[in-house]
Each structure stands twice: as C-alpha cells, then as structure tokens.
Structure 1
Amino acid sequence: MIEIYPANERYHADHGWLKSYFSFSFAEYFDPSNMNFGPLRVLNDDVVKPLRGFGAHPHQEMEIVSIVLSGYLQHEDSLGNKAVTTLGGVQRMSAGTGIIHSEVNPSATEDVNFLQLWFLPEKSGLTPSYEQTNFDIAKLKNQLLPVVTKNPDSEQIAHIHQDLTIYLSDLEADKEIEFTQEEGRRIFLFVIEGRLVINGETILNKRDSARITQLHKLTLSTDSSSRFMLIDLP
C-alpha cells in the first residue's frame, strides 16, 4: 500500500526567523492520527534565517538526524561537541538519558534549509552521543547511497540506534533504481527536488512523501531528474 502525502498538505509554521513544514504531529500541530510511521516520529523541513536558530534546549530518548540541503548548520551540545555542517554532511545525536543542544545558522547572509528527523530508539537509557559524517555527493548519482544506518561499514555513514537505513539519491532522467527490502518492513520516501515515479505509475513531486507498507520491492524512476530520500524502516 502506498499512501501519498502532498507537500502542500503539510502543516506550515512561520515564525519569521523560522519557516517549517511538519510531516508529523509536532509542537503546535497536534494530530493523533499522524504521530509516527514506525519509529519515524518527526520530519521537519526547516528554513532558518541568518544568525538565528534553536537555542539550547533538552532532549531525551530520541535519535535525531539533521541533513543539510543548503546553507550551514551549527551544532553545540552539553557534551562539548561543536560542529558546522553543510550539503554533504549529516549530524546524528542520540539524546538517550538526556542532552542539551542548540542548532543555529552561523551565516550572516545565507538561509539554511535542513531536514530534521527524529526516530524512536531501539531501547531506552542509551548514553548520549553525537557524530558528524560527510558523504560524497557525486556518489548519489543513479544509486541509493546509505548515509545513516544501524551498522555502518564506512566512516561516511552515521550510526543510529535503530534498525533503519536512510538513503539519498540523485536520479537522472530515464534511469531506474530497484529497491528491495525484507517483507514486513516499511518504506518512507521524500522527494527533495524534482519528480519521482514509483513502480511506473505513482508520481511524487517536490517535497511530496509516501508511506509504503506491504510492498517490499520498488522501481523508482523519473522523466526529468530527482533528488530524494528513502528510509528503510522496521
């Protein structure tokens, strides 16, 4: 089953310094029928103005991933970590038993656009941790590149405490990608740019998403070009 969630039906919050689109119930947007998709609890598409951001605030019992689409994102936390990420970078934070962090746009001139994803961890009481990884953007071309997973085999892939994998891809016109997972799992698709076709018939446009169950094989194609994210979920 493929459930489509059009971009223009996402909840939109505009705070001036922050423009955000929520894919799931979050903050002032409460929808008990849209709380999660498996362990995926939050997907916020955020744009933050220069020199603004989220000040120091606490988190517990959550795996938080930030993927920068444009601009720069600066992270600081109570463990002493500080890092700046741009396109090609991923931030992963395990809040575990408790951590305080901030996320701000350090640029004086450029907005930052990033995807913030929250996942329920596979177990509670984890020791808080943070890592920043970088992937080769060229390797996105016409393939699914893992950037976050439970058991990474490369320093370019972030580790997460949940049985999932986040893939990114740049698909060219008239190319196809085949994806297969174990039966009984879930697939979440999110189109970052362009247009994506699922199994030759279901069309997703920019910022549309799809929640897929009971289908463990997909053929992904495009008639123009597409940058997208695929998450393999339990």
Structure 2
Amino acid sequence: MIQIYPADERYHATHGWLDTYFSFSFAEYFDPTNVNFGPLRVLNDDVIKPLRGFGAHPHQEMEIVSIVLSGQLKHKDSLGNEAITTFGGIQRMSAGTGIVHSEVNPSATEDVNLLQLWFLPERRGLAPSYEKTDFDISQLKNQWLPVVAKNPQSPNVAHIHQDLTIYLSDIEAGNGIIFEQESGRRIFLFVIDGELKVNEEVNLYKRDSARMAQTPQLKIAAETDTRVMLIDLP
C-alpha cells in the first residue's frame, strides 16, 4: 500500500529568517498520528535567509542528516568540527550522549535550502561524532546513488548508526528506475523536484512524499526531469 502525503498538507511555519515545512510532528506542531515512520523521526524542508540560522544548541540520542539542495550551510560543533556544505555534500551528526552545534547560512546574498532528517539511533549511549562527505552529482543520473548508509562501501557515503540507506537520483523525463526491497522493510519517497509515477498507480509532484511497507518492487517513472530521495528503512 502506498500512503501519499501531498506537499501542501505539510505543516508550514515562517519566522522571518526561516521558512520551513515539517513532514512529521516537530516543535509547535504535534499530530499523534504523524510522529515517525520507522526510525525516521523528522524531515524538515528549511529555507534560511542570508547570514541567519540556528545558533548553538544541544542534541542527544539522535542521528541527524543535512542535505543541502541550494546555497550553503555552515556547521560548527562542540567537538571542534567546522564545515561548509553545498549540493553534492552530506552532513551526518550522531548526537549520542550529547553535542552542541550551530547551523547557519554563511552567504550574505543567497538563501540556503536544506532537508534536515532525524533518525532514532540503533542504540543509545553512542559517542557523539560528525562527518561531511561528498558524492559525484553526475552519478545521480537515472540510478539510485547511496549517500548515507549503515555500512558504507565508499568514502563518498556517510555512515549512520541505524539500519537504513538514503538514496538520491536524478531521473530524466521519460526514463524509469526500479528499487527492489527486502521483505519486512519500509520505503520513504520524497520528490525534491519534478513529477513521477509510482508503480503505474499514483503521481507524485514536487515535495510530495509517500510511505510504503511490504512493497517488494518499486517502479519509478519520471514524467518530467525529476530529483528524488528514497530511504530504505527497517
């Protein structure tokens, strides 16, 4: 069964410096029927104004992934890590027993748009850690490219402490790709841009998402040039 979540039904908040959409309960938004999907706890679609952002704040017991779609994102944390990420880069932070970090837009002229995802860790009490990885954007073309995984097979894939894999793909109009899923697992699909058809059943548009369980094969056909994220979850 494919459960569709249209983009315009997400919770929307504006704070002047921040324009954000929540796919799950977060901050002031709470829906007891929409707290998580497996270990996926948060998916926020943020646009941050120039020279603004989230000041230093703490986290514990969460795996946090930031995917920059446009612009720049600057990370700084209490472990001494500091990095600027653009599209083609992934930030993964394991909050573990506790970490303090900030996420700001370092540009004086350009907004930054990012997806921030939170996942419950496979176990509590992990040592906090951070990494920034970079993937080859050209490798997104008409295939699933892993960018985050529990057991990465490449230094271009960020390591996460949960049994999941995040894939990105740029599917050209008129093309299709297939995802084969193991029994007993979940699929979360998020259309970053474009339009696609899932299993010849439903159409998804920009920022729509779909949640699926017990779906052994997923056929994705792009109606227009489409950028999509797929998460394989326990």
TM-score range, shorter chain: over 0.9
Match of 1:80 in 2: 80
1:214, distance to aligned residue in structure 2 (A): 1.7
Match of 1:22 in 2: 22
SS in 2 for 1:218: strand
Gaps of 5+ in 2: none
Which letter maps to 2:72?
Y
Gaps of 5+ in 1: none
Match of 2:13 in 1: 13
Match of 2:184 in 1: 184
Match of 1:214 in 2: 214
Residues in 1 aligned to 2:118 and 2:130: alpha-carbon distance in whole angstroms: 14
Residues in 1 aligned to 2:153 and 2:185: alpha-carbon distance in whole angstroms: 22
| 1:140-159 matched pairs, under 5 angstroms | 140-159=140-159
Residues in 1 aligned to 2:223 and 2:232: alpha-carbon distance in whole angstroms: 24
1:195, distance to aligned residue in structure 2 (A): 0.4
Match of 1:104 in 2: 104
Task: Check if 1:116 corresponds to 2:124.
Answer: no
Instruction: Report the RMSD for the aligned CA atoms in angstroms.
Output: 0.5
1:5, distance to aligned residue in structure 2 (A): 0.2
1:11, distance to aligned residue in structure 2 (A): 0.2
Q: Which runs of 4+ in 1 moved over 2 A?
A: none
- 8 Å contact 1:184–1:216 — kept in the other structure? no
Which letter maps to 2:156?
Q
Which letter maps to 1:87?
F
Which letter maps to 2:174?
D
1:192, distance to aligned residue in structure 2 (A): 0.3
1:16, distance to aligned residue in structure 2 (A): 0.6
Residues in 1 aligned to 2:59 and 2:86: alpha-carbon distance in whole angstroms: 23
Match of 2:50 in 1: 50
Match of 2:127 in 1: 127
The percentage of aligned residue pairs carrying the same residue is 75
Count of matched residue pairs: 234
Which letter maps to 2:233?
L
Which letter maps to 2:3?
E
The C-alpha deviation readout for 1:126-169, integer Å capped at 9, x for no partner, is 00000000001110000000000000011100000000000000
SS in 2 for 1:122: coil
SS in 1 for 2:152: coil
SS in 2 for 1:143: coil
> What is the TM-score when the length of structure 1 is the normalising length?
0.99
> What is the TM-score when the length of structure 2 is the normalising length?
0.99
